[in-house]
Amino acid sequence: MAKSTSTTKSTGGIACVRVTLVAFNLITLLAGVAMLAIGLLLFFASHVESSSLDVLENVATEETILPNNREFKGLSIVLICLGTLVSFVSFLGCFGACINGKCLLVTYLICVAVILSLQFLVSVFAIVYRQPMSRTLREELMQYIRQEYRPNTEVARTWEVMHQMFGCCGVDGFSDWFEIDAWPAEKWVPDSCCIESANMTGCGQVLDPNLWNRQGCLGSLQLVMMEKLHYLASAIVTLVFLQLYGIIASTLLFYHAKEEKNPSSYKTYSYELARRSK
C-alpha cells in the first residue's frame, strides 16, 4: 500500500511538471510566432517602401530620425531569426513533454541552456560596452543636428518634442545648434529651445542665450532609456527563472521517460543504494 501511494504521488508530481512545462512553452510559442509575424511584416514593408520611394518622394523623405529602410530591414531580420528560434525551441519543449520523448526533451534542454548562456553573454556585453554605446548615441544625435536637421521635417518635429518634453536644447547645450547646415554662419537655435517665459515667435534667432534652455537633452534621454532598461532587466530576470524551470522540468521528464522504458535498472540501482546505506 505504501509503495502504491508513493508511486501515485510520484506520477502526480510528474504530471504537474509536464502540464506546467507544456503551458509555459505554449505561451513562449505564441510569443515566438508573434515576433516572427512582426518581423515578416517589417521585412516586406521595407521592400514595399524601397520600391515606392520614387512614386511617393513627395511624402516619404529620408529626413527622419526614425529608423531608415536599412535599419528596418536589419530589425526585421533579427525579429525573424529570434521568432523562429523561440518558436522552434518552444515546440520542442511542448511536443516533447506531451509525448514524453527523450530525444526531444534532451534537444530542448540543450537549446534552452544555449539561449540562457547567450543571454548572459549579451548582458555582459551591454555592461562592458555601455560607455561606447553612449558615445555612439551622442554622435548620432549630433549628426542629426548638424547635417540632417531642416525646418518643417520629421527631424525638426522630433527635436521639438524632445526639447519641450525635457526642457532642454541640443545634445550637450544650445551651442550645438550654432552654424549647422540648416543655417551656416548663424548662431541660432530652434524656437523649441526657448524657455516658457520667452513667449515670442522667432526667439531662437534673437541671439539672447538668456531666452534659451541651457541644459542638453542627452542626459535626460539617457535617464529615460535607463528607466526603460529597468523594465527590460526585470523581464530578462523573469525569463531566466522560467528558463531555469524549463531546464529542471525537462531533466525530470527525461529521467522519468528513461525510467519508464527501463525500470529494472532503476530498481536495481535503488536497491543497491538502499543496501549500501544500511
CATH code where residue 217 lies: 1.10.1450.10
* 15 and 151 inside one domain: no
Is 116 a member of any domain?
A: no
What pLDDT sits at residue 47?
A: 52
What pLDDT sits at residue 120?
A: 81
Is 118 a member of any domain?
A: no
* 166 and 218 inside one domain: yes
* 257 and 152 inside one domain: yes
**How far from chain centre, in Å, is Cα 49?**
24
* 94 and 140 inside one domain: no
Alpha-carbon distances, residue 147 vs 10, 144, 177, 182, 248 (angstroms): 68, 6, 11, 8, 54
What pLDDT sits at residue 19?
A: 87
Beta bridge partners of 194: 212
* 149 and 196 inside one domain: yes
Distance CA 21, CA 16 (A): 9
Main-chain dihedrals φ then ψ at residue 37, nearest 5 degrees: -65, -45
* 129 and 239 inside one domain: yes
Alpha-carbon distances, residue 69 vs 43, 50, 143, 226 (angstroms): 9, 7, 18, 27
Per-residue pLDDT of the chain (278 residues; tens, 9 = 90+): 444 444 554 566 788 888 888 888 888 888 888 888 888 887 776 555 444 444 334 444 444 444 445 555 776 787 888 888 888 998 988 888 888 888 888 898 898 888 888 878 877 777 777 777 778 888 889 999 999 899 888 889 989 999 999 999 999 999 999 999 999 989 999 999 998 876 777 888 888 888 999 999 999 888 887 877 777 677 777 777 888 888 888 888 888 777 766 655 544 444 454 555 55
What's the pLDDT tens digit per position in 128-185? 777 777 788 888 899 999 998 998 888 899 899 999 999 999 999 999 999 999 999 8
What pLDDT sits at residue 264?
A: 54
Residue showing cell 535626460: 220
Distance CA 104, CA 22 (A): 13
What pLDDT sits at residue 67?
A: 45
Is 257 a member of any domain?
A: yes
Beta bridge partners of 212: 194
What pLDDT sits at residue 56?
A: 38
* 41 and 143 inside one domain: no
Among 99, 134, 162, identify where a domain stops.
99
Among 64, 99, 134, identify where a domain stops.
99
* 43 and 181 inside one domain: no
* 29 and 92 inside one domain: yes
Q: Which domain holds residue 65?
A: 1-99
Among 49, 83, 99, identify where a domain stops.
99
Is 82 a member of any domain?
A: yes
Which value, to the nearest 10 degrees, does the dihedral of the CA atoms of residues 162, 163, 164, 166 take?
Answer: 80
* 94 and 25 inside one domain: yes
What pLDDT sits at residue 45?
A: 67
Is 113 a member of any domain?
A: no
* 4 and 90 inside one domain: yes
Is 106 a member of any domain?
A: no
Domain total of the chain: 2
Which value, to the nearest 10 degrees, does the dihedral of the CA atoms of residues 237, 238, 243, 247 take?
Answer: 100
Is 111 a member of any domain?
A: no
Is 16 a member of any domain?
A: yes
* 136 and 268 inside one domain: yes
